[in-house]
Amino acid sequence: MERFTIEQVKAVCEKKRYRWLPFQLIGIRSAADKPNAFDDLLGWVDGDKIVWHTGTTNPGVHWLKQWMNPAGCAVLAEGQHINSWVLGKHKGQYEALVQYGPVDVYRDIDKDDKSEQMGKPIRGVYGINHHRANPKFISSIIDKWSAGCQVRNNPKEYDEFMTACKNSGLKFFSYVLLNENDFKS
């Protein structure tokens, strides 16, 4: 996927009437949306720069077929999520951004390999975190790494992301999740 410039991201956010913040998290869901592939972009805006990493905004096939919630597998809705995350520990194990405020999710209920935004979104706190996959090497398959979380597959890039979040001085973190198709005129 193309790594979009800050100007391109800002233009899409303005078109969608999202608030532009001096420090915010950005995700771009791949139009290809390959099952179990880290084919999305996860980044952050810090002033006049944007930093991109590879990752996923979709759950892995394992959780699409074996739900943690009887209502279906969570798929974070595209849109702007204001002040929904804080610094904390993912599953109590390591530093991450953990969900604090409500977000909109869809529940994928067809138990296939594809992550889909089905039905109407529901709002709540579901444990949708920003975390990493394997701590030692770059992961190539999502599988159990995401049940709806936003996950970076490169541990070094994840450390860079967490350092940026800590250095921001923010208590709450906002996230804009876009789709690659939003950048097509």
Q: Is residue 1 part of a domain?
A: no
Would you tell me how many other CB atoms lie within 10 Å of the CB of residue 48?
8
Confidence of residue 47 (pLDDT cuts 50, 70, 90): very high
pLDDT recorded at residue 30? 97
pLDDT recorded at residue 118? 82
**Helix (H, G, I), strand (E, B), or coil: what is residue 154?**
coil
Q: Is residue 143 part of a domain?
A: yes
Indicate whether 185 pLDDT > 90.
no
For residue 121, the enclosing domain spans 6-183
- The predicted model gives 19-39 an average pLDDT of 96
- List Cα–Cα distances, 100 to 35, 43, 121, 168, in angstroms: 28, 19, 18, 18
Q: What is the pLDDT of residues 81-138, one digit of tens each?
A: 999 999 999 999 999 999 999 999 999 999 999 998 888 999 999 999 999 999 999 9
- Does the global pTM surpass 0.75? yes
Residue appearing with tokens 């770059």: 138
Q: What is the pLDDT of residues 160-179, one digit of tens each?
A: 999 999 999 999 999 999 99
Q: How many domains does the chain have?
A: 1
pLDDT recorded at residue 12? 98
The average confidence (pLDDT) of the chain is 96
- The predicted model gives 32-55 an average pLDDT of 97
Q: Is residue 52 part of a domain?
A: yes
Q: Is residue 169 part of a domain?
A: yes
Q: Is residue 152 part of a domain?
A: yes
Q: Are 125 and 76 in contact (CB under 8 A)?
A: no
